[in-house]
Amino acid sequence: MKKTLIICMAVTMSLAAMADGLKGVDKANLNVAVSPGENFYQYACGGWMKAHPLDPQYSRFGTFDQLAENSREQVKDIITNLGTGHRHGSIQQQVGDLYAMGMDSVRLNAQGYQAIAEDLNKINNTKRADMAFLLGWMQRGISDPFFGTTVMADFKNSTANLLYVEQGGIGMGDRDYYLENDESTVKIRKAYLDYIIRLFELVGNSNGKAKKMAASVLDIETQLARVAMTREDTRDYAKQYNIRTVDQLKIDYPNINWDQFFTGAGIKNVDKVCVMQLNSLVKVNEMMKSLKEDAIRNYVAFKLIDAAAVYMSDDFVQAHFDMYSKAMSGKKVMQPRWKRSLDVPNTLLGEAVGQLYVAKYFPAESKRKMQKLVENLKKALGEHIANLTWMSPKTKVQALVKLNSFTVKIGYPDKWKDYSSIDIDMAKPYWTNVLAASQFAADYEYSQLGKPVDKDRWWMTPQTVNAYYEPTSNEICFPAGILQKPYFDPDADDASNYGAIGVVIGHEMTHGFDDQGRSFDPDGNMNDWWTSEDADKFKELADKLSVQYSAEIVADDVHANGDYTTGENIADHGGLRVAYTAFKQTAQGKGNVEIDGFTPDQRFYLSYANVWAANITKEEILRRTKIDVHSLGVNRVNVAVRNLDTFFKAFNIKEGDKMYRSPEDRVIIW
């Protein structure tokens, strides 16, 4: 059953207390040589950016990443102080041993690619008749050659789990890397081909043979890229809800032995699937017949080596870094081994680490304060919906019902995932243990088929510095990791907290009403609860917002992709407006007492901007513009605030200033 939050009064502080030593906006973050009306992002964040030049181990580093690094240091402190002698199968033994194996460079370098040699031999001896079983086996925690599978709630029956078949199999992550021919993309594609060659050489192939194998791999991925659905279209769930029975799968895609595939993956209790991108699976079906056996084997072998590379000897790790971090993102040096090793248990045994994390770093008081903040933001969003001028009363009622049906998750789950069946054994190779944990995760996903959706499940670990909205369960979640400074600071004034964590809360709430979330009803079912007139008005406003972002040049002559980032942009705008409304109900928001020379409204907007302070490489800018649904930090600030009248008033920005936007061009959705 979903929780319905009770609307409460806002949490406030006395004005005397606010003026007495409270922290929040740091003047050192500012660049006062730039006026707010010229470039608000540079004014608010320029000082921070100058004081934090980009460390060569990062392609982007900002206050968000700074908080993630703080969380990582906390996890490191926990893991490195676990000690020894723990019972086999305990979370302390599993987490500690997995970390220790990653740190043992001498052993890893001595083993080379020994850990995958047997599996490579299995791939190289697989005949066409058994290829579907091999693909299923790969899906069980290794990689997604040709296509991927996942288990989620049925978009139109949110209480039941459904198997989704989705386009996959391209290592560079986006179709454009294979299809575009600008200088930057061609350079990355060449680096990718060199990387594939290098991996094949490292497992014992001659340079000549490796080149031929790599060419066939790139050809397969390019064919998959040509038929892949565009980034923009993947935002439309309706286009991707294509239900097929297993019998229909066998008829429509006969060159894939589905019984073999399901057996190889360990998938049971499946009677129907959702084929998310039809054209992609049509192409895969064709390729399974037309491709030579050796080409398929080379492709699957590469997928295995690529997946295992970072868990083997240093030459594999370096090759992986040179491609995915250096060529694609612009990183100059690899992160230290302890960080890379720490990320493995932190990801694969996430809730095990989470149990240890919250016990040490998440006080109960933080959860209580966060609950009140959520209630305040929820009340503010309700007021916004009720007062919308573009939405009809009929749709407003449905929107308010959905808002009041939100489930809110804060800090950590009420029940923890049980990892005790994973055999973490230091006598076995590192990759073997990583694979055991990965297969556990895959088996867990597939085991949900035939069971009702677990509404108590968390989709992020407690130590994660992030938050989310899940449309099929209509829930918002705020892990413990993000509930720390500078996002959530009990020693800061209300303006600073509402401008940071308040906007994060409002952002996730607004996702329930963005271009994707609005398609789901209060029970998490994809169901059109809008009048056609209101849907048209929403699309008109969303399109207008997209045009604003697409007008921004991110690097060279490359523009931002306002269509692909629509959902996040809507959530940023909604989060800002809702958080500001909630803030104005506090004592500080109702007054006009300055702190450090800034009014409450100025502190609110400066706090928001500081959330996105960052330095970033050109390569990472271009990569994120291709693959990230979030806008760049500078646009999350400068484009977003230029739609808000209260921002212009706060900093006295007038017509003629670069940051000014005419009232008729501003967009207000939520």
With beta carbons less than 8 A apart as the criterion, state whether 466 and 578 touch.
no
pTM over 0.85, yes/no: yes
C-beta neighbour count of 603 within 10 angstroms: 26
C-alpha span between 245 and 266 (Å, rounded): 18
Beta strand pairing call for 475-479 and 407-411:
parallel
Q: Which helix (H) or strand (E) holds 407?
A: strand 407-411
Question: Is residue 544 domain-resident?
Answer: no
Q: Of the given ranges (360-364, 527-531, 540-544, 546-550), which has the lowest mean pLDDT?
A: 360-364
CA dist., res. 220 & res. 298, Å (int): 10
Q: Is residue 7 scored above 70 in pLDDT?
A: no
Q: What's the average model confidence in pLDDT over 577-592? A: 94
Is residue 509 domain-resident? no
Write the CATH number for 188: 1.10.1380.10
The confidence score (pLDDT) of residue 6 equals 21
Q: DSSP 3-state assignment of 418?
A: coil
Taking the C-alpha atoms of residue 299 and residue 219, their distance in angstroms, rounded to an integer, is: 10
pLDDT average, residue stretch 54-79: 92
The average pLDDT across 91-115 equals 97
Task: Report if residue 220 sits inside a domain.
Answer: yes
Per-residue model confidence as pLDDT tens digits over 305-328:
999 999 999 999 999 999 999 999
Sequence-distant (≥ 6) Cβ neighbours of residue 54 within 8 angstroms: 60, 61, 615, 616, 617
pLDDT at residue 418, rounded to an integer: 95
Pairing mode of beta strands 147-154, 157-167: antiparallel
In a domain, 441, yes or no: no
Q: Tell me what pLDDT residue 11 has.
A: 32
Rounded Cα gap, residues 494 and 487, in angstroms: 12
Identify the helix (H) or strand (E) that includes residue 151: strand 147-154
Q: How much of the chain, in percent, has pLDDT values that exceed 90?
A: 90
In whole angstroms, what is the distance from residue 45 CA to residue 37 CA?
14
Radius of gyration of the chain from Cα atoms?
Answer: 26
pLDDT for 1 beyond 80: no
Residue type, 476: I
Expressed as residue numbers, the domain containing 118 is: 113-311
Q: Is the pLDDT of residue 645 over 90?
A: yes
Q: What is the per-residue DSSP string for 303-354?
A: HHHHHHGGGS-HHHHHHHIIIIIIITT---SPPPHHHHHHHHHHHHTHHHHH
Taking Cα atoms as reference points, which of 558, 557, 574 lies closest to residue 566?
A: 574
Using the 8-state DSSP alphabet, how is residue 355 labeled?
Answer: H
| Sign of the CA dihedral with 204 first, then 210, 213, and 219 last | positive
Q: What pLDDT digit, counting tens, does each position of 479-524 carry?
A: 999 988 878 887 889 999 999 999 999 999 999 999 999 999 999 9
Residue 333, sorted as left (phi over 0), alpha (psi -120 to 50) or beta, turns out to be beta
Domain count for the chain: 1
SS3 511: helix
Residue 321, in any domain of the structure: no
339-392 pLDDT, tens digit per residue, is 999 999 999 999 999 999 999 988 888 888 889 899 999 999 999 999 999 999
Please give the helix or strand (H or E) that residue 160 lies within, else none: strand 157-167
Report the distance separating Cα 189 and Cα 195, nearest Å.
10
Residue 645 counted as domain residue: no
According to the model, what pLDDT value does residue 489 have?
A: 84
Residue 207 lies in a domain: yes
For 227-244, what is each residue's pLDDT tens digit? 999 999 999 999 999 999
Q: Give how far Cα 148 sits from Cα of 121, 122, 270, 445, Å.
A: 23, 21, 16, 13
In angstroms, the first-to-last Cα distance of the chain is 27
Angle at 31 between CA 28 and CA 34, to 5 degrees: 160
Looking at residue 18, what is its pLDDT? 33
Q: So what's the pLDDT on residue 358?
A: 92
Helix (H, G, I), strand (E, B) or coil at 243: strand
Asked if residue 221 has pLDDT above 60, the reply is yes
pLDDT digits (tens, 9 = 90+) for 166-206: 999 999 999 999 999 999 999 999 999 999 999 999 999 99
The DSSP secondary-structure symbol of 130 reads G
Residue 470 lies in a domain: no
Q: How confident is the model at residue 85 (pLDDT cuts 50, 70, 90)?
A: confident
Give the sign of the dihedral formed by CA 322, CA 328, CA 332, CA 333. Answer: negative
Tokens (6 digits) for 67: 């908080």
Sign of torsion, CA 334 335 340 341? positive
Give the residue with greater pLDDT, 491 vs 142: 142
